[in-house]
Amino acid sequence: MDTAEKKALHESLKQYEQQLEAVELALASSASESQAADLLELKHNLEEVINLTQATLRGAVDEDSATNQNQVNDDIDEEFARFQAEMASLGASSESQDQAVTAAEDHSKELAELVDHLEGSNVKAPFSKDWGQMSYHSAVVLSVDASDITHVDDIKVNVMFTHPTVSAMKPCSFFLEGRCKFSQERCRFSHGHAVALSELREYSEPSFSTLKPGSPCLVKSDKDGLWQLAALESVGERQDEVAVRLSHSGKTVSIGVEDVFPLEDNGAVESSDSDSDSQPAADAVPIAGGCEDDQEGVPVVAWSPSTASGLPLGAWEKHTKGIGSKLMEKMGYVWGQGLGIRGNGRTEPVEAVVLPAGKSLDKCMELKELGMTQDSAKVQRKMLLKMKREEEKIERRYHKAAKSESVFEFLNCQIFSKKDSKNAGEKYNTQKEKHSSQDLKSVSMRGLGIEALQVTEAIKRAEREIVRLGHSSARNKDRDKVMHAQMEKKIEEQRQLIRQLQSKERSIAAEQQHRKGNDKLRVF
């Protein structure tokens, strides 16, 4: 019931009450019975109407109160529902946060376990040479850079190579002892090679049972402790020594089994292009025993760009002044595009091919096609044979030139050696050769005096050199054993020179004394 209806009922109720009061006054003043009966009946009717109106008003009030109560209840229910929804959302967010925290903790634990597992493990790590070739070598994980690790790909490790082939890969012994005074950039040896975890490969144990004649392997050098590529020739009777042929010189040497590391078929020193059929690893070429006597040279690829490493065109000019790149830029070349007017030419460097000398272009092409069809080991043997013959020719020329004494050698030994005190022994040896064909008796007294003075000065210079070498040897006694041994060897050479000079000095003194005695006899 709306407000207007309620207002109309209240006004009707007031009118009914006023009429009831008027009827009661009329009934009190009425004298006849018939009029009194009519007034009583009207009174009863008015009372019923008033009661009905009041009942209607009370029903409307009750209905409004019930409606208000229901509305309040609905508001409470809605508020409670919103409260429950908020509580549920808070519970879900807390659960998701707990799950996220748990997942982060599990991820951190997994990374920590991975870091602990990596340290000290054997792996295959990449190493790039100075000329750009990348190859994989056996290594041990020295440490793991665990700072700011959010993903496995962010992990960086420091590795030490177990079979270094160059000085930059060889572990620094002073660094391992904790007393290297050079930084990682200045030290010529390795303080640890930084590699991304994603670039590592699984380590495979070497199989010594697969060693047979012709098998590629790495052998350790006694001079510098580096490993070099070789091919197995034969195994000794006692199984503790093997004969190998060195790849760089072609010489056959005997070496202990403990200094031999067998390679896989594709070489333990795997090239970065090992996955490509068109570019086999150069270090993995086995060197067979015999060499064929073939005088005709074959073109050999001396260097080929690595397609896997993405070497850009002209990147090698960082080692030069880059005049080629500057000329190309002046001619309008845009870096990254291909060569040619339309930019559709090649974008990779050209491989370097060594052609035989004294051959025509047609002959070189025939030999190149022949070399492509031949076995790579056969081509390598021919190159080694040619290199060996060239070395023998150079050695023969050197010995031949050493026998003949030229004017320039005389000037170098007699004049320029006076500027360097270290060449005192060489100077005296030159003087000795000068008088080797003469006897001391044929030298005048003045010449003997000059030679005695020269011998005395040479002895003094040798003694000063011994003192200097002694200081150097004392400094390197605990720092560098190789340098200490070299200093001791030089000291012994100087002592031997002093003994020779002293013997010569005694001979000159005896000759001078003999001549003085003869002069006295002649005077007598």
Rounded to whole angstroms, how far apart are CA atoms 162 and 136?
A: 12
Q: Are 294 and 311 in contact (CB under 8 A)?
A: no
Per-residue pLDDT band for 317 (boundaries 50, 70, 90) equals confident
Count of positions (residues) in the chain: 524
On average, the pLDDT of the chain sits at 73
pLDDT tens for each residue of 215-256: 888 888 877 888 888 888 887 766 678 888 887 777 888 888
Q: Tell me: the pLDDT tens digits for 272-287?
A: 444 433 333 333 333 3
- Please state whether 258 falls in left (phi above 0), alpha (psi between -120 and 50) or beta: alpha
pLDDT at residue 285 in the model: 35
Q: Is 140 exposed, middle or buried (0-12, 13-18, 19+ CB in 10 A)?
A: middle
Higher pLDDT, residue 308 or 14: 14
Winning range, highest mean pLDDT, from 13-22, 214-223, 335-344, 351-360: 214-223
In this predicted structure, what is the pLDDT of residue 443? Answer: 75
Task: pLDDT band for 496, please (50, 70, 90 cuts).
Answer: very high
Residue 414: both structure tokens together = 């007699």
Instruction: Supply the pTM of this predicted model.
Output: 0.35
Higher pLDDT among residues 45 and 103, named by residue: 45
Indicate if the pLDDT at residue 51 is higher than 70. yes
Gap between the Cα atoms of 500 and 169, Å rounded: 45
Is the pLDDT at 189 greater than 80, yes or no?
Answer: yes
Give the CA dihedral 236, 242, 245, 251, nearest 10 degrees.
Answer: -80
Which of these ranges, 206-215, 232-241, 337-346, 426-435, has the smallest mean pLDDT?
A: 426-435
H-helix segments, 246-347: 323-330
Average pLDDT over residues 306-324: 67
**pLDDT score at 492:** 92
Q: Of 229, 216, 389, whose CA–CA distance to 297 is shortest?
A: 389
pLDDT for res 421: 47
Report the pLDDT value the prediction gives residue 384, as an integer from 0 to 100.
Answer: 75
Fold of 122-262: SH3 type barrels. (2.30.30)
Tell which residue, 136, 126, 162, 382, has the closest CA to residue 283: 136
Please, are residues 306 and 371 in contact by the beta-carbon 8 Å criterion? no
Report whether 287 contacts 231 (CB < 8 A).
yes
Q: Copy the structure tokens of residue 199.
A: 């670039």
CA distances from 252 to 114, 241, 249, 289, 516 (A): 45, 13, 9, 9, 63
- The pLDDT, as a whole number, for residue 34 is 75
Query: Which pLDDT tens digit goes with each residue over 140-171?
Result: 888 887 666 666 667 788 888 888 888 888 88
Asked if the model's pLDDT at residue 403 lies above 60, the reply is no
Residue 396 has a pLDDT of 79
Nearest to residue 23, comparing CAs of 43, 37, 41, 47? 43
Let me know: does 190 contact 168? Beta carbons within 8 Å: yes
* pLDDT surpasses 80 at 459: yes
pLDDT of residue 102: 62
